[in-house]
Structure formats: structure tokens, C-alpha cells
Chains A and B, each alone.
Chain A
Amino acid sequence: MTPMFGQDGQRVLTLITGIADLTAEEVDKVTDAWKHVCPSDRAKAWARLVRTTTEQERYQILAAASLARREALVTAHRLRRVDWAFWAAVSDAAAAVAAGTRIGRHYDTLTAPLAAVMPPLAACSGVAPVSAAGFTGDDPRTPAVSSEGA
């Protein structure tokens, strides 16, 4: 399964399977957090993401984002939440996790809203690997340390 979502496929799967466990309050928190991110920064992050990846990698990243978004839609419906900022936030985070260190500091921009309720997301895979059992960032508060992509 891993190749489908890139090298960090396991992290992506962990993220996706975690979406269904979110509560309504957590969904609201993610929604609010996403709206507080500067839209231009988010656009820059996505631009960097597509610039620093090959077509094949982009395909995997977009597949991850798309599946995560779908899962978020289902969860939002179940919790009677209809603000699209939530599934946009989940989609952003899944794309960033699939892209990993390649997008440098932009990783934080894309993951921050969801990381508000899934703290281990804040650690980029280049820093803290994730086990099959789940995210294993030792300290969830540790900011992502990553190099700027080319």
C-alpha cells in the first residue's frame, strides 16, 4: 500500500484512519484554525508542493489528499458539520504528510490546522518517523525541523 501514497504512505494512512475518530468540537477547532491560516501562504505551500515533485509523486500526493478529503467529508456529515474548511484542512495536511520534507517550512502551513487536534502531525517525517501503531513524535510540541526545498 505504501507506494500509493508515496514514501510516507504509512503516515498518510494513519492520518486518514484518525479522521473518523475526531469529535465535533475537534472538527470545529480544525475549521477555525484553517481559516486563520493566510490564504496566500497556503497557496505558496501548494505551489511549492507541485514545484518540488515529479508527476508520479504529485499523483501520489494528490491521491492521498483526495482520499483524506473524502474521509473528512464523511466524518463531517456524520457530525453534522458542513463547513468545507474542515475537509480542505484535512486534504492540505494529507498532501503535506505525503510530500514530507520536500516542502520545507510549508509543511507547517499545511498541517497546522489539523495538527491542532492531531499534535504528532506537527513533526515532519524527516524528523520523527511514525510506527505502524501510530504517530510516534516523542514530543508533540516539537516544531518540525526541515530544510527548505529547492
Chain B
Amino acid sequence: MKSWLTDLPEAFPDALVIVDSHGRIIQANARAASLFGFDERAMTGLLIQALFPDQLLALPSARSGLPDEAGQHLELVGSRSDSSRFPAVVAVMPVKIKRVTAAVISIRDLTDAQRAQFVLRRGVEILMSESRDRRALLRHLIRAREEERLRIAADIHDDAIQLISAANFRLQQLRLRLRDEAVRGILDKLQEALTLSSSHLRQLIFDLRPSGLVGGSLGPALRVYLDQMHSDTGITYRLDDRLSARAPDGTALLIYRNVLEVLANVRKHARASTVAVELLDIEDGYLIRIIDDGVGYDPADIEDRPGHLGLVLIRERAELAGGWCRIESSPGTGTTVEFWVPLGVSSTEPDAGHERAG
């Protein structure tokens, strides 16, 4: 038993010293000697303060009993025999056997742990920095997309639609000069095709730059889109518009874009029969919830794979506007998208007042 106790300090996984109530080292294990660069026997008799110079290390004394710090872990700087320093975590465990007060002090070198922590912290900083860059890039992408939409809408309006209108007008003039009914029939078909093209282009302009949102309200604009979706795909919808006031143009546009992005996903991937769109006033902002009854997906499969820019943009648009977004799904349970944006959106979209097309 006695031999076992004598061997205990050496079996200890950390550096270990035993000091008396004056802080003088009675015993030190080989790890302590190695850590502090001493010969094992040379440590005996040293004051513990020599190993941790200029630092407070409260020890138990015969008179005052156990210090408050007893048993606590302290982060100190150890000093080796060659005066080099190292960070250490130190635990002081007071012991009292018969009338002798002593302290068992374990010391662990934190150098490697601190280096690892530094590397880890640096890694986290790099990741955070890259994430910020990615965000800035996305913000730029969202703006660029919106500006490009504006430009294309303006070009279609100023160029293609004007040309079609002019062609249509000339066809009408030509029709007046024609007497052959068969040729007039062909001309009628041609005019119908031009009118249809013009109508499609006007719808495209609306999709690119929904003029209905400027001075109008979100609900009716979404209803137009949902009606079209129903006639194209057969997906039925429920639109619950409980917004008490018209959203500012920038906010309305952001919401409209996000809802359309979600609905585009529903059309492409969900295989849904019904979609519900809810617009609610919440906390000085707008909560939008879109729920479909489609096949859903496994987030673990989908989110790790690249190529889901639509979902990323939905989230980023909401978050960049100072809001939040949740996109959740499970296989067989449909998909729920909800996002909230504050009333005063910090705009990532070009000014809605720059409307040129329509």
C-alpha cells in the first residue's frame, strides 16, 4: 500500500508537485521536472513561486486553513529553469494529513492547446471572412439581376414592342388595300400572331418589372401570377392576404420576387396539387408563408449539393433586408417557406421609382 502511494505522483498524467504550507516543494514527479527543465531532485526545496514568478498562487496555510481558490483551475505562466515561459493551467488541491497542511499542485502545459486554439480561431476568422465576401457577392448579384431585369424590360418596351406595334399598324393599312379574302385571312392570322407576341412581351415586362406593385398592392399582383400558374399547371392555390396596409414599393418588390422564386420551385420540383400563400402583418414587418403539398425533399440530400441558387437567393434577399427566412421540408410532407422582412427594407433592389417599362 505504501509503495503504491509513493508511486502515485509518477502515475499522474500531468506534472505534479507537492508543497508545504510555506510553498516549498516536498516532492515533484518526473513530468514536473521535465516540464520545468530541472533535475528531479533539484526541484525539492524550491519555492513554488519560482516556477510561477510574480503570480498569486494561494496556498493552504496551517494557520488560516484552506484558501478560497482551493481546487480551482488557474491559468498561469510557468517559468522554466532556462527562464523560458509557457502557458499552464494549474490546479491546487489542499491536503491535511494529521497536523500537516500541504498542497498537491498539478500543472498542465497549454502551449499545444493554445496553438491549436489559435489555428482554429484563425480558421474560423477565415471562414467568417469568406462568408462575408460571399454575402457581399450575393448582394451584388441580387442588385445586378434586378438592374439587368430593368434594362431588358426597358429594351423590350422601347424596341421590340414598338416594332411589333408599327408592324401591326402597317398590316392594318395593308389590309385596307387588299380585296382578296384569302389573302386577308392570312393577314388576319399574321395580325393575331403579332398581337399575341405583343401580349406575351408585355407579360414578360410585367414579370421583369411588375408595374402593378408600384402604387398597387401585393395581393392582386400575386393573384395574377397564381391564376396564370393554375391555368398553366393545374396547381390550385389559396391566397390569404391579411396585410392591413400596402407595402412600400421596395419591400413589395422584394416579397414579390421571393414568392415568385418559391412558386417557380413549386412548379419545377414539388409535384404539388395545392399551394397556400399567406401574407401577414407581424412586428412592424411582413410575414410571408408559402406551403405546398408536394413530394418535399430531404434537406440532408439537397442542401449539401450545389446548384440551389434559387433557395439561397430567397434566404439572402430576406436576410439582407434585415429579415429572416426558413425553408423546411421532409420527404412526402411538402415544403414550407416562410420569411419575414421589416417594413423599412434596407433596399437591395434598384429604386422602384426607376420604372421605365410597362
**Which residues of A line the B interface, CB within 8 A?**
1, 3-4, 39-40, 43-44, 46-51, 58-59, 62, 73-74, 77, 82-84, 87-88
Nearest 8 A/B pairs, CB to CB: A47-B283, A84-B328, A82-B330, A84-B330, A46-B324, A43-B287, A43-B282, A44-B283
Structural contact, B330 and A47, CB atoms closer than 8 A: no
Structural contact, A40 and B280, CB atoms closer than 8 A: yes
Chain B facing A: main interface SS: mixed
Per the CB 8 Å criterion, the residue count for chain B at the interface is 32
What is the CA–CA distance of A59 and B121 in the complex, to the nearest angstrom? 16
Residue B323 interfacial (CB < 8 Å): yes
**Which residues of B line the A interface, CB within 8 A?**
117, 120-121, 124, 128, 131-132, 280, 282-285, 287, 289, 298-300, 319, 322-324, 326, 328-333, 336, 338, 340, 342
Structural contact, B331 and A82, CB atoms closer than 8 A: yes
Pull 6 A–B residue pairs with CB atoms less than 8 Å apart, ordered by A: A4-B124, A40-B282, A50-B323, A74-B300, A82-B298, A84-B330
Structural contact, A73 and B299, CB atoms closer than 8 A: yes
Given A44-B282, A44-B283, A46-B324: A83 in contact with B330 (beta carbons within 8 A)? yes
Structural contact, A59 and B324, CB atoms closer than 8 A: no
Structural contact, B299 and A47, CB atoms closer than 8 A: no
With a CB–CB cut-off of 8 A, which chain A residues contact B289?
39
Given A44-B283, A46-B340: A59 in contact with B328 (beta carbons within 8 A)? no
With a CB–CB cut-off of 8 A, which chain A residues contact B342?
47, 50-51
Residue from the set B280, B330, B331 with the largest chain A CB neighbour count within 10 Å: B330
With a CB–CB cut-off of 8 A, which chain B residues contact A83?
330, 333
What is the CA–CA distance of A74 and B299 in the complex, to the nearest angstrom? 11
With a CB–CB cut-off of 8 A, which chain A residues contact B336?
84
> Which residue of chain A lies nearest to B326 when distances are taken between CB atoms in the complex?
A88
> Which residue of chain B lies nearest to A61 when distances are taken between CB atoms in the complex?
B324
> Which residue of chain B lies nearest to A85 when distances are taken between CB atoms in the complex?
B328
Contact partner, A84, options B131, B282, B333, Cβ 8 Å: B333
With a CB–CB cut-off of 8 A, which chain B residues contact A3?
124
Structural contact, B128 and A47, CB atoms closer than 8 A: no
Structural contact, A50 and B324, CB atoms closer than 8 A: yes
Distance in Å from the Cβ of B75 to the closest Cβ of chain A?
A: 13
What is the CA–CA distance of A49 and B287 in the complex, to the nearest angstrom? 14
With a CB–CB cut-off of 8 A, which chain A residues contact B298?
82
Contact partner, B340, options A47, A58, A73, Cβ 8 Å: A47
> Which residue of chain A lies nearest to B340 when distances are taken between CB atoms in the complex?
A47
Given A1-B120, A83-B333: A50 in contact with B322 (beta carbons within 8 A)? yes
